[in-house]
Amino acid sequence: MKKSGTLVFNQAAADADPRFVAPDLVALDAKGTPRLIGGRCRKCDAVSFPRAAVCTNCLSEDIETVELAHEGTLYSYSIVHQAPKGWTVPYALGYVDMPSNIRVLAHLDAPADKITVNMPMRLSVGVVGADPSGAPLLSYTFTPV
Amino acid sequence: MREVCVIGTGLVSFGKYPDKTLAEIGWPAVREAIVESGIQPKSIDAVYCGSALGGMLSGQRVMKSLGLTGMSIINIENACSSSSSALAEAWTAVSSGRHDIVVVIGVEKLTKFGGGTLPLENEDWEVNQGMVMPALYAMRARRYMHEYGLTARQLGEVSVKAHEHGALNPNAQIRKRVSIEEVMASRPVADPFTLWHCCPTGDGAAALVIASAEVARQNKADPVRVTASEVTSGVYTNGYRDMTWAELTARGAKEAYEMAGVGPDDIDVAEIHDAFTIAELMYYEAFGFCERGHAYELLSSGATSLGGDICVNPSGGLLSRGHPVGATGAAQAVEIVRQLEGRAGAHQVEGARVGLAHATGGGIAGLDHGACSIHIFAR
């Protein structure tokens, strides 16, 4: 993946720790703050997440890698009690609306009774499950601001 | 375009058949439909078989059990709309004049997965973050509750109605009435859904024989006509989407109504895709049975129950009849045809003349649903 700005893409971290669920989608900046990695079309400015290989607005393949805002608003959520093997149930899952017309599905790192529709959320990283050996699986998550 | 009719129907009660093969589940439905139609089996021009998870050549595996092969057999995968999409292809084949007599099959065996939520594609980035089908619908429900003040208990009444109907249907997977207290007290699946808010998984099959009106009228005086047949796909966005509005279904409904020359007030009976309780309420609105935000009022008025003006899911729907994914669309069509022919039995909608069947689904990131297929039938 193309490197940009101050971001240290976590390919190395992912290589060192293969237990990250989707290493291409998240990176840590210089301060260690997680940022989502998206794409922006250089032709029409449409923003994608995950980064699209081809612009779904204009079909251009000229897509630059960009970091997305790390705060958004919770559109909706559910506390999931039944899921395939590997996920630690129950877990809170939600859609967070970010700027640039991006909606992100993520685990929510908060007690079920503290989650409400439309609450402001901030990107975080947390344990979301376990791999077949029982080792923790990490992913980006959202935490109430 | 030629007029298209249904001349035969077959259905295997939905349930759990772990010891049967897919073909063993499927052939009795096809045999029943062929026998009912009165056609010579050799006159079948083509077979369209819908199955979501049945594997390669489902249609050939079913048809060879009956010794009926050699014709064109096309297998169709479109998630929950697989066999309704097969029906749409069959409709097109007959309507266009390419074929006169076509068999539609829906067949599925979900017990091979051993239970739990439907297996989704791990290539999907949302599935990789823990998306499961109940959670997707639950988030629709949560947002709808936020915007319209619906309560989880009110939502649960959809399940009570579904099982009132299903208890009357000998072909339903769950033939048991449930009280609202039982719905609320059952184990949580994806908040606000408890188990009774979710359709069961299982196995099953359904089949139809479709024919041109000319052929149909050689066998039946007043066959059920298929007056609208359409398939649409969800509109992709990675951005914001109003999850309280079933855009895909609403778009398909508009097209289907135009094709059939009818409106929501003309529908006497509907089999709609109530995979989870919230779905039925959202589809009332998408089909124009009521205004947005008023679905619960329609449900609680009794209008969508047996005896009401627009009976929805007299079979018990997905919640009670069951939902062996690829078999559902064909089973809905069988149900509507039998309703219009006045032979649905204890869950008959009296005097039904116009009915619709609606199968939609497919969990895929960025789309409302993957596919939606709607058919309107009239007699």
pLDDT tens by residue, A73-119: 999 999 999 988 888 899 999 999 999 999 999 999 999 999 999 99
Please give the model's pTM, rounded to 2 decimal places.
Answer: 0.94
The pLDDT of residue A98 is 95
Token representation of residue B303: 């209008």
CB–CB contact B132 A81 (8 Å): no
Which range of A7-11, A64-68, B268-272 scores highest in mean pLDDT? It is B268-272
Rounded CA separation B268/A130 (Å): 50
The pLDDT of residue A17 is 54
Facing residues of B57 across strands?
Answer: none
The pLDDT of residue B17 is 97
The pLDDT of residue A16 is 54
Rounded CA separation B281/A82 (Å): 23
Q: Where are the beta strands (DSSP E) in A42-119?
A: 47-48, 63-67, 71-80, 91-98, 102-108
Residue B301 sits at the chain A interface (C-beta within 8 Å): no
For residue B267, give the 3-state DSSP assignment: coil
% of chain B residues with pLDDT over 70: 100
Distances (CA, A) of B374 to B8, B86, B191, B242: 19, 12, 29, 22
Q: Tell me: the pLDDT tens digits for B167-188?
A: 999 999 999 999 999 999 999 9
Q: Taking residues B197-211, report their average pLDDT.
A: 97
pLDDT at A14 over 70: no
The pLDDT of residue A3 is 31
Q: Taking residues B52-68, report their average pLDDT.
A: 97
Token representation of residue B314: 């007299």
Q: Which of B125, B45, B47, B48 is nearest to B83 (CA)?
A: B48
Token representation of residue B139: 């988030």
Q: Taking residues A126-134, report their average pLDDT.
A: 83
Tell me A3's DSSP state: -
Distances (CA, A) of B107 to B10, B79, B88, B121, B234: 12, 12, 16, 20, 24
pLDDT at B219 over 90: no
In this predicted complex, what is the ipTM? 0.93
Phi-psi region of B95 (alpha: psi -120 to 50; beta: other; left: phi over 0): alpha
Mean pLDDT of chain A: 86
Residue B140 sits at the chain A interface (C-beta within 8 Å): yes
Q: Tell me: the pLDDT tens digits for B87-133?
A: 999 999 999 999 999 999 999 999 999 877 777 877 888 998 999 99
CB–CB contact A81 B143 (8 Å): no
Residue A141 sits at the chain B interface (C-beta within 8 Å): no
CB–CB contact A105 B131 (8 Å): yes
Token representation of residue B225: 């006509």
Residue A94 sits at the chain B interface (C-beta within 8 Å): yes
- Tokens 């007029």, residue located: B3
CB B300 within 8 A of CB B160: no
The pLDDT of residue A27 is 86
Smallest Cβ–Cβ distance between B238 and the set A90, A102, A129 belongs to A102
CB–CB contact B190 A25 (8 Å): no
**Helix segments in chain B, DSSP class H:** 22-37, 58-65, 82-95, 125-128, 133-148, 152-166, 180-185, 213-219, 247-260, 277-286, 295-301, 317-320, 328-340
The pLDDT of residue A7 is 37
> Residue B76: in which H helix or E strand, if any?
strand B72-76
pLDDT at B77 over 60: yes
Enumerate the residues of chain A whose CB falls inside 8 A of the CB of residue B123. Answer: none
Query: Which amino acid would we find at residue B144?
Result: Y
> What residue of A is the nearest CA neighbor of B366?
A103
The length of chain B is 379
Q: Taking residues A40-51, report their average pLDDT.
A: 95
SS3 content of chain A, % helix, strand, coil (to 5): 5, 45, 50
Facing residues of B233 across strands?
Answer: B371
The pLDDT of residue A4 is 33
Active site residues of B: 80, 323
Rounded CA separation B108/B94 (Å): 25
Crossing angle for the helix pair B328-340 and B82-95, to the nearest 10 degrees: 60
* pLDDT band for position B163 (cuts 50, 70, 90): very high
* pLDDT band for position B220 (cuts 50, 70, 90): confident
Enumerate the residues of chain A whose CB falls inside 8 A of the CB of residue B235. Answer: none
CB–CB contact B236 A56 (8 Å): yes
Distance to chain B for A102, nearest Cα, Å: 4
| The pairing of beta strand B72-76 with beta strand B354-361 | unpaired
Which range of A5-9, A131-135, B120-124, B354-358 scores highest in mean pLDDT? It is B354-358
Residue B71 sits at the chain A interface (C-beta within 8 Å): no
- Tokens 């958004």, residue located: A72
Enumerate the residues of chain A whose CB falls inside 8 A of the CB of residue B119. Answer: 84
Token representation of residue B247: 């855009």
* pLDDT band for position A31 (cuts 50, 70, 90): confident
Residue A78 sits at the chain B interface (C-beta within 8 Å): yes
Q: Taking residues A51-68, report their average pLDDT.
A: 95
Residue A37 sits at the chain B interface (C-beta within 8 Å): no
Q: Which of B216, B358, B365 is nearest to B273 (CA)?
A: B358
**CB < 8 Å from A in window 232-271 of B:** 236-241, 243
CB–CB contact A79 B187 (8 Å): no
